[in-house]
Amino acid sequence: MENTVSKTPKKMLESSGPVGQNATVASRIFDVLNYLIVSLAAITTILPFIYIIGASFATEYEIATRPMFFIPQDITVDAYRYIFSSNKILQGFGNSVFITVFGTAINLFFTVTMAYALSKSRLRGRNFFLNMVIFSMFFSGGMIPGYIVVANILNLKNTYWAVLLPGAISAYNMMIVKNFFQGIPQELEESASIDGCTDIGVLWKIVLPLSLPVLATFGLFYAVGHWNAYFSAMIYMTGAKEKWPLQVLLRELIIMSNGTAGDMNNLDPEFVKPPEQSVKMAVIVVSTVPIMCVYPFLQKYFVKGVMVGALKG
């Protein structure tokens, strides 16, 4: 009896004969294949970016003659010197930071407040509002009606609001945050209400501290969207170049480096035509590195925030 009780799960698995051994071998093979696939995916993702960084410091001759390299033979910073030769790049960087920070704050504010209200079954007309949100996920007015509303009706052209308000909330993100809020135990909110907290107090003191994973996840999603966006600023800020974000200015640099005729009236005369390929590589680095520096601090919240919000409720 003592020998039977003292058997560990590993010994019991080994004593189960060929079936247990086959299961162990199969699980090991599965783990090896998983690690192999993930490693290949990581290599194929990282190597091109390393090449871009190396090519941004290389000469035009080396980029043209060497098909693939990670460390340039002759290091030069001409591309970065060209990019930062005008103070408009620093101004555009500041505009991008402002749009990203302020826009993300607006996104989170509207997403949280609407999701918290719709997570309560006692809300009158809740199903109607939910159906309206779902409807907006499948149908939209289109680009031309949107431009007419923003530029003519709301008169927001050449202002920061033109790039901040039209995308103030994402219906998909709001629905996931709503599901996350529904998964928070109601007893916590009820106890806070008994202590005298209002709905706003419950949201601020109870719900938001417990929702850090999902807020950090979608906050980063919103921030990346604002940082990479250029089309809205390009069509709504045609008469306010001083408010252009970094992405629009970098697009202008690429047009200059390509020597494209395009809309030459929009091109800044301060820029002088640089080497083509090295500037393209440097532009990718300049536009990507800042947002990549934020990602590691929020990475740990991704799986927890998105999965819990998507599965609960």
- pLDDT value at 296 more than 80: no
Average pLDDT on 100-119 reads 93
| Comparison of pLDDT for 83 and 20, the residue scoring more | 83
pLDDT score, position 112: 94
Decide which of 194 and 310 is more confident: 194
Residues 6+ apart with CB under 8 A from 158: 236, 237, 238, 239, 240, 243
For position 93, what pLDDT does the model report? 86
Gap between the Cα atoms of 230 and 255, Å rounded: 14
pLDDT at 171 over 70: yes
Map the chain to HEC letters: CHHHHCCCHHHHHHCCCHHHHHHHHHHHHHHHHHHHHHHHHHHHHHHHHHHHHHHHCCCHHHHHHCCCCCCCCCCCCHHHHHHCCCHHHHHHHHHHHHHHHHHHHHHHHHHHHHHHHHCCCCCCCHHHHHHHHHHHHHCCCCHHHHHHHHHHHCCCCCCCHHHHCCCCCCHHHHHHHHHHHHCCCHHHHHHHHHCCCCHHHHHHHHHHHHCHHHHHHHHHHHHHHHHHCCHHHHHHCCCCHHHCCHHHHHHHHHHHHHCCCCCHHHCCCCCCCCCHHHHHHHHHHHHHHHHHHHHHHHHHHHHHHHHHHHHCC
pLDDT, position 303:
57
Question: Considering the entire predicted model, what is its pTM?
Answer: 0.75
Percent of the chain with pLDDT over 70: 81
pLDDT at 189 over 80: yes
* Rounded Cα gap, residues 301 and 170, in angstroms: 19
pLDDT in tens, 241-279: 888 898 888 888 777 666 544 443 444 544 445 567 788
Average pLDDT, the chain: 80
User: Identity (one letter) of the amino acid at 309?
Assistant: G
Q: Write the pLDDT tens digit of every residue in 6-42.
A: 444 454 444 455 555 666 888 888 888 999 999 999 8
Q: Which residue has the tokens 């009896």?
A: 1
Least trusted range by pLDDT, from 72-86, 140-154, 184-198, 299-313: 299-313
Check whether 198 has a pLDDT greater than 90.
Answer: no
Give me the mean pLDDT over the 139-143 stretch. 82
Q: How many CA atoms lie within 13 A of 125 on its CB side?
A: 3
Residues 2, 185: Cα–Cα separation, whole Å:
45
Query: Taking residues 87-114, what's their average pLDDT?
Result: 91
Q: Rounded to whole angstroms, how far apart are CA atoms 181 and 308? A: 10
Q: Where residue 304 falls among pLDDT bands split at 50, 70, 90?
A: low
Those residues whose C-beta lies under 8 Å from the C-beta of residue 293, and which sit 6 or more positions away, are none
**Would the CA dihedral through 80, 82, 84, 88 be positive or negative?**
negative
| pLDDT tens column, 200-238 | 888 888 888 888 888 888 888 899 899 988 888 889 988
Mean pLDDT of all residues in 178-200? 85
